[in-house]
Amino acid sequence: MIHYHGGPITPETCAVVAWSGRHAFCSFDHRAGTARQIETAAAICQSFALDNGAFPAWTRGEPVTDWAPFYAWAASWLTHPACDWAVIPDVIGGTEAENDALVREWPLGFAGVPVWHLNESIDRLVSLADDWPRVALGSAAEYDVKSPRAALDRLAEALPAISDADGRPLVKLHGLRMLRPEIVERVPLASADSTNLRNAGFDLAWKGTYQPATKEARVMVLVDRMESHNAPDRLLWSPAQQLDVFALEATS
Residue 200 confidence (pLDDT) above 60: no
Give tens-digit pLDDT for 54-82.
888 778 887 888 999 999 999 999 999 99
Query: What average pLDDT does the segment 193-203 reach?
Result: 68
Higher pLDDT: 155 or 30? It is: 155
Q: What is the pLDDT of residue 218?
A: 81
Question: What mean pLDDT comes out for the span 22-41?
Answer: 80
The strand pairing partners of 137, in sequence order, are 116, 175
pLDDT at 252: 44
Percentage of the residues of the chain whose pLDDT score is greater than 70: 86
Q: Return mean pLDDT, the chain.
A: 87
For residues 187-200, give the mean pLDDT: 84
Q: Is the pTM for the entire model greater than 0.85?
A: yes
